[in-house]
Amino acid sequence: MDIFEFTQGTSPLLISVPHAGTFVPATLASGMTASANTSPDADWHVDQLYDFARDLGASFIVATHSRYVVDLNRPPDGSSLYPGQDVTELCPLLQFDSSPIYQPGQEPDASDVAARRDTYWRPYHEKLASELHRIRDQHGYALLWDAHSIRSVEPRFFDGRLPDLNLGNGDGTACDATLATRLSAVAQESEGYTAILNGRFKGGHITRNFGNPANRIHAMQLELSQITYMEEFPPYRFRDDLANGVRPVLKRLLEAMLDWGRTHGAR
Protein backbone atom coordinates (compact mmCIF):
# COMPACT_ATOMS: atom_id res chain seq x y z
CA MET A 1 0.00 0.00 0.00
CA ASP A 2 1.18 3.52 -0.76
CA ILE A 3 2.36 5.47 2.28
CA PHE A 4 0.06 8.38 1.46
CA GLU A 5 -2.49 9.51 -1.07
CA PHE A 6 -1.88 12.84 -2.78
CA THR A 7 -4.14 15.01 -4.90
CA GLN A 8 -2.87 18.25 -6.38
CA GLY A 9 -5.27 21.17 -6.36
CA THR A 10 -5.29 24.62 -7.95
CA SER A 11 -5.35 26.97 -4.95
CA PRO A 12 -2.52 27.99 -2.55
CA LEU A 13 -3.96 25.67 0.13
CA LEU A 14 -2.51 22.28 1.10
CA ILE A 15 -4.42 20.12 3.59
CA SER A 16 -2.35 17.55 5.45
CA VAL A 17 -4.07 14.60 7.17
CA PRO A 18 -1.31 12.64 8.90
CA HIS A 19 -3.31 10.55 11.38
CA ALA A 20 -6.41 9.26 9.57
CA GLY A 21 -4.66 6.11 8.34
CA THR A 22 -5.42 2.74 9.92
CA PHE A 23 -3.29 0.34 7.85
CA VAL A 24 -0.63 -1.68 9.68
CA PRO A 25 1.66 -4.03 7.71
CA ALA A 26 1.11 -7.64 8.69
CA THR A 27 4.67 -8.01 9.98
CA LEU A 28 3.97 -5.27 12.54
CA ALA A 29 0.35 -6.14 13.27
CA SER A 30 1.34 -9.62 14.41
CA GLY A 31 3.30 -8.11 17.28
CA MET A 32 0.57 -5.72 18.40
CA THR A 33 -2.20 -6.30 20.89
CA ALA A 34 -5.73 -7.05 19.72
CA SER A 35 -6.97 -3.65 20.87
CA ALA A 36 -4.15 -1.78 19.10
CA ASN A 37 -5.04 -3.52 15.86
CA THR A 38 -8.44 -1.79 15.95
CA SER A 39 -6.71 1.63 15.59
CA PRO A 40 -8.59 3.29 18.46
CA ASP A 41 -6.49 6.47 18.33
CA ALA A 42 -6.82 7.21 14.62
CA ASP A 43 -8.11 10.60 13.51
CA TRP A 44 -11.13 8.78 12.19
CA HIS A 45 -12.77 10.00 8.96
CA VAL A 46 -10.92 13.35 8.88
CA ASP A 47 -10.24 13.05 5.15
CA GLN A 48 -13.94 12.35 4.57
CA LEU A 49 -14.93 15.29 6.75
CA TYR A 50 -12.82 17.67 4.65
CA ASP A 51 -13.81 16.33 1.23
CA PHE A 52 -15.68 19.59 0.51
CA ALA A 53 -12.32 21.41 0.38
CA ARG A 54 -11.57 19.92 -3.02
CA ASP A 55 -14.12 22.40 -4.37
CA LEU A 56 -11.94 25.16 -2.88
CA GLY A 57 -9.02 23.97 -4.98
CA ALA A 58 -7.11 22.52 -2.05
CA SER A 59 -4.33 19.99 -2.50
CA PHE A 60 -4.51 16.97 -0.18
CA ILE A 61 -1.93 14.66 1.35
CA VAL A 62 -3.50 11.89 3.43
CA ALA A 63 -1.52 9.23 5.27
CA THR A 64 -2.70 5.65 4.85
CA HIS A 65 -0.76 3.99 7.68
CA SER A 66 -1.60 3.99 11.36
CA ARG A 67 0.06 6.43 13.71
CA TYR A 68 1.16 3.31 15.61
CA VAL A 69 3.52 2.49 12.75
CA VAL A 70 5.10 5.94 13.00
CA ASP A 71 3.70 9.27 14.11
CA LEU A 72 4.08 11.67 11.21
CA ASN A 73 3.43 14.65 13.48
CA ARG A 74 6.43 14.08 15.76
CA PRO A 75 10.01 15.33 15.33
CA PRO A 76 12.31 12.79 13.68
CA ASP A 77 14.63 12.75 16.70
CA GLY A 78 11.75 11.85 19.01
CA SER A 79 12.03 15.02 21.10
CA SER A 80 8.94 16.15 23.00
CA LEU A 81 6.66 18.81 21.57
CA TYR A 82 5.31 19.51 25.05
CA PRO A 83 8.15 19.18 27.57
CA GLY A 84 6.92 18.13 30.98
CA GLN A 85 3.61 16.77 29.68
CA ASP A 86 2.63 13.22 28.78
CA VAL A 87 3.02 12.76 25.01
CA THR A 88 3.26 9.90 22.55
CA GLU A 89 6.52 8.99 20.84
CA LEU A 90 7.65 8.89 17.22
CA CYS A 91 6.87 5.17 17.36
CA PRO A 92 4.39 5.07 20.25
CA LEU A 93 4.39 2.28 22.78
CA LEU A 94 1.11 3.06 24.52
CA GLN A 95 -2.40 3.72 23.32
CA PHE A 96 -4.08 6.91 24.48
CA ASP A 97 -5.69 4.98 27.35
CA SER A 98 -2.17 3.89 28.44
CA SER A 99 -2.69 0.25 27.44
CA PRO A 100 0.20 -1.32 25.49
CA ILE A 101 0.34 -1.26 21.72
CA TYR A 102 2.71 -4.24 21.57
CA GLN A 103 2.71 -7.71 22.97
CA PRO A 104 5.55 -8.27 25.49
CA GLY A 105 8.94 -8.31 23.80
CA GLN A 106 7.59 -7.01 20.47
CA GLU A 107 8.26 -3.30 21.06
CA PRO A 108 10.36 -1.57 18.39
CA ASP A 109 14.02 -1.00 19.25
CA ALA A 110 16.17 1.90 18.06
CA SER A 111 16.95 0.26 14.72
CA ASP A 112 13.26 -0.45 14.13
CA VAL A 113 12.39 3.18 14.84
CA ALA A 114 15.10 4.39 12.45
CA ALA A 115 13.84 2.07 9.71
CA ARG A 116 10.24 3.24 10.13
CA ARG A 117 11.37 6.86 10.08
CA ASP A 118 13.12 6.29 6.76
CA THR A 119 10.35 4.16 5.25
CA TYR A 120 7.23 6.03 6.33
CA TRP A 121 8.01 9.36 8.00
CA ARG A 122 10.55 10.77 5.58
CA PRO A 123 8.57 10.36 2.31
CA TYR A 124 5.53 12.11 3.79
CA HIS A 125 7.61 15.07 4.92
CA GLU A 126 9.52 15.24 1.67
CA LYS A 127 6.22 15.42 -0.20
CA LEU A 128 4.94 18.13 2.13
CA ALA A 129 8.08 20.18 1.55
CA SER A 130 8.08 19.81 -2.23
CA GLU A 131 4.39 20.63 -2.55
CA LEU A 132 4.60 23.69 -0.31
CA HIS A 133 7.52 24.97 -2.36
CA ARG A 134 5.65 24.30 -5.59
CA ILE A 135 2.61 26.18 -4.30
CA ARG A 136 4.73 29.10 -3.12
CA ASP A 137 6.53 29.27 -6.45
CA GLN A 138 3.21 29.30 -8.30
CA HIS A 139 1.20 31.63 -6.07
CA GLY A 140 3.84 33.63 -4.24
CA TYR A 141 2.86 32.06 -0.90
CA ALA A 142 1.58 28.76 0.49
CA LEU A 143 -1.05 27.91 3.11
CA LEU A 144 -0.86 24.67 5.11
CA TRP A 145 -3.80 23.34 7.11
CA ASP A 146 -2.89 20.34 9.28
CA ALA A 147 -6.14 18.49 9.99
CA HIS A 148 -6.54 16.37 13.13
CA SER A 149 -9.17 15.05 15.50
CA ILE A 150 -9.25 13.45 18.94
CA ARG A 151 -11.80 12.13 21.42
CA SER A 152 -13.40 14.92 23.40
CA VAL A 153 -12.28 13.38 26.69
CA GLU A 154 -8.76 11.96 27.04
CA PRO A 155 -7.71 12.10 30.71
CA ARG A 156 -4.14 11.13 29.90
CA PHE A 157 -3.62 14.34 27.95
CA PHE A 158 -6.04 16.94 29.31
CA ASP A 159 -8.59 17.52 32.04
CA GLY A 160 -12.30 17.54 31.33
CA ARG A 161 -13.80 17.93 27.89
CA LEU A 162 -11.68 19.44 25.15
CA PRO A 163 -12.96 22.52 23.29
CA ASP A 164 -14.50 21.63 19.93
CA LEU A 165 -12.11 23.67 17.76
CA ASN A 166 -8.47 23.70 18.88
CA LEU A 167 -6.39 25.93 16.63
CA GLY A 168 -2.61 25.95 16.99
CA ASN A 169 0.18 27.83 15.26
CA GLY A 170 3.08 27.08 17.56
CA ASP A 171 2.35 30.02 19.86
CA GLY A 172 2.53 32.40 16.93
CA THR A 173 5.55 31.02 15.08
CA ALA A 174 3.88 29.13 12.24
CA CYS A 175 1.72 31.77 10.57
CA ASP A 176 1.26 35.51 10.40
CA ALA A 177 -0.38 37.00 13.48
CA THR A 178 -3.16 38.63 11.45
CA LEU A 179 -4.08 35.27 9.92
CA ALA A 180 -4.15 33.60 13.33
CA THR A 181 -6.36 36.38 14.66
CA ARG A 182 -8.79 36.06 11.76
CA LEU A 183 -9.05 32.29 12.04
CA SER A 184 -9.50 32.46 15.79
CA ALA A 185 -12.32 34.97 15.35
CA VAL A 186 -14.09 32.72 12.83
CA ALA A 187 -13.83 29.79 15.22
CA GLN A 188 -14.97 31.78 18.25
CA GLU A 189 -17.97 33.15 16.37
CA SER A 190 -19.18 29.70 15.28
CA GLU A 191 -22.47 29.21 17.07
CA GLY A 192 -22.77 25.97 18.99
CA TYR A 193 -19.03 25.23 19.13
CA THR A 194 -16.30 26.12 21.61
CA ALA A 195 -12.90 27.23 20.35
CA ILE A 196 -9.41 28.15 21.51
CA LEU A 197 -6.11 29.21 19.92
CA ASN A 198 -2.88 27.67 21.26
CA GLY A 199 -4.54 25.93 24.17
CA ARG A 200 -3.66 22.32 25.00
CA PHE A 201 -2.80 21.75 21.34
CA LYS A 202 -0.46 24.33 19.83
CA GLY A 203 0.33 22.53 16.59
CA GLY A 204 2.56 19.51 16.19
CA HIS A 205 5.82 19.02 14.31
CA ILE A 206 4.25 19.51 10.89
CA THR A 207 2.80 22.91 11.75
CA ARG A 208 5.85 24.11 13.65
CA ASN A 209 8.38 22.78 11.17
CA PHE A 210 6.77 23.87 7.89
CA GLY A 211 5.12 27.09 9.00
CA ASN A 212 7.58 29.85 8.10
CA PRO A 213 5.90 33.24 7.68
CA ALA A 214 9.17 34.96 6.76
CA ASN A 215 9.34 32.66 3.73
CA ARG A 216 5.62 33.08 2.94
CA ILE A 217 4.53 29.66 4.15
CA HIS A 218 1.75 29.94 6.73
CA ALA A 219 0.60 26.90 8.71
CA MET A 220 -2.25 26.23 11.12
CA GLN A 221 -3.30 23.03 12.86
CA LEU A 222 -6.86 22.23 13.85
CA GLU A 223 -7.39 19.54 16.47
CA LEU A 224 -11.11 18.91 16.17
CA SER A 225 -13.06 17.21 18.93
CA GLN A 226 -14.47 14.01 17.46
CA ILE A 227 -17.76 14.47 19.26
CA THR A 228 -18.58 17.15 16.65
CA TYR A 229 -18.83 14.69 13.74
CA MET A 230 -18.69 11.02 14.77
CA GLU A 231 -19.25 8.37 17.40
CA GLU A 232 -16.13 8.44 19.55
CA PHE A 233 -16.19 4.75 20.49
CA PRO A 234 -16.37 1.53 18.44
CA PRO A 235 -17.35 1.17 15.71
CA TYR A 236 -16.34 4.87 15.29
CA ARG A 237 -19.23 5.59 12.97
CA PHE A 238 -19.23 8.79 10.93
CA ARG A 239 -22.32 10.85 11.74
CA ASP A 240 -23.63 12.81 8.78
CA ASP A 241 -26.07 14.69 11.00
CA LEU A 242 -23.21 15.97 13.14
CA ALA A 243 -20.78 16.48 10.25
CA ASN A 244 -23.33 18.60 8.42
CA GLY A 245 -23.19 21.00 11.34
CA VAL A 246 -19.43 21.36 11.65
CA ARG A 247 -18.52 21.27 7.95
CA PRO A 248 -19.79 24.84 7.36
CA VAL A 249 -17.51 25.98 10.20
CA LEU A 250 -14.53 24.22 8.64
CA LYS A 251 -15.40 25.73 5.28
CA ARG A 252 -15.54 29.23 6.76
CA LEU A 253 -12.13 28.69 8.34
CA LEU A 254 -10.55 27.55 5.08
CA GLU A 255 -12.24 30.32 3.10
CA ALA A 256 -10.96 32.87 5.63
CA MET A 257 -7.46 31.48 5.21
CA LEU A 258 -7.68 31.70 1.43
CA ASP A 259 -9.17 35.19 1.59
CA TRP A 260 -6.36 36.34 3.88
CA GLY A 261 -3.83 34.86 1.48
CA ARG A 262 -5.18 36.78 -1.50
CA THR A 263 -4.62 40.05 0.33
CA HIS A 264 -1.58 39.38 2.50
CA GLY A 265 0.03 36.09 1.47
CA ALA A 266 2.68 37.33 -0.95
CA ARG A 267 3.83 40.25 1.19
Domain spans of the chain, in order of start = 4-265
What pLDDT is recorded for position 59? Answer: 98
Round to whole Å and give the CA distance between 161 and 169. Answer: 21
**CATH (one of 3.40.50.410, 1.20.120.10, 3.40.50.920, 3.40.630.40) for 4-265:** 3.40.630.40
Round to whole Å and give the CA distance between 236 and 220. Answer: 26
Give the mean pLDDT of 169-183: 97
What pLDDT is recorded for position 143? Answer: 98
Q: What is the pLDDT of residues 178-211, one digit of tens each?
A: 999 999 999 999 999 999 999 999 999 999 999 9
Confidence tier at 13 by pLDDT (50, 70, 90): very high
What pLDDT is recorded for position 87? Answer: 83
Q: What is the pLDDT of residues 33-43, one digit of tens each?
A: 999 999 999 99
> Could you tell me what percent of the chain has a pLDDT over 90?
94
Q: What is the pLDDT of residues 121-144, one digit of tens each?
A: 999 999 999 999 999 999 999 999
Under DSSP, is residue 165 helix (H, G, I), strand (E, B) or coil?
strand
Q: Are strands 217-225 and 142-150 parallel, antiparallel or unpaired?
A: parallel
* Mean pLDDT (the chain, rounded): 96
Centroid of chain to Cα 164: 15
Give the bridge partners for 190, in sequence order: none
